[in-house]
Amino acid sequence: MSRIFTVLVALLLITSGLVAKAEQSKTFGDYTIHYVAFNTNMLSPDVATAYKIRRSKNRVILNISVLKKIMGTTGKPVKAEIEATATNLSRQLRKLNVRELTAQGAIYYIAETAVNNEETLNFELNVTPEGESMALHLSFQQQFFTE
């Protein structure tokens, strides 16, 4: 299972360069939130099966990680409560089911949703790192292509 997780992480890093917007991040005080969204058909069948992700050109996956700043390091992964929504340009709201993946000290949060060709989604994320009382809010917009 750890081999598959390593493949997933590597694939997420590789595919982030292939999507219209590569992996992005936003810093809030002691925390940095990394996020990326891409079509699930970019995942290998093994990775998709291991993490129960349906591969399709018409589905996208949102991947989020939260790091706490620690001097002299790239940061420490921390658990968080994450609420995420996606709204298209027709104002159709989708509440995303975010789930946690952990392995070998890494913590990732993923969510999936259907998408149409050339559809633009506005993602809204409220992230509350473990031990904190206030949510960190970020939003981003991305267009997806399925053909």
Domains annotated for the chain, with CATH where assigned, are 2-143 (2.60.40.3340)
Contact 109, 99 (CB under 8 A): yes
In the block, which residue shows the tokens 């939003």? 139
pTM: 0.83
Element (DSSP H or E) covering residue 3? helix 2-16
Q: Is 57 helix (H, G, I), strand (E, B) or coil?
A: coil
Q: Is 62 helix (H, G, I), strand (E, B) or coil?
A: strand
Structure tokens at 105: 């000290």
Q: What does each of the 147 residues of the chain score in pLDDT, given as a tens digit?
A: 445 444 455 445 444 444 444 569 999 999 999 999 999 999 999 989 988 999 999 999 999 999 999 998 889 999 999 999 999 999 999 999 999 998 888 999 999 999 999 999 999 999 999 999 999 999 999 999 998
Q: Note the pLDDT of residue 140.
A: 96
Q: Note the pLDDT of residue 119.
A: 97
What's the DSSP call for residue 41? G
- In this structure, are strands 59-68 and 31-39 parallel, antiparallel, or unpaired? antiparallel
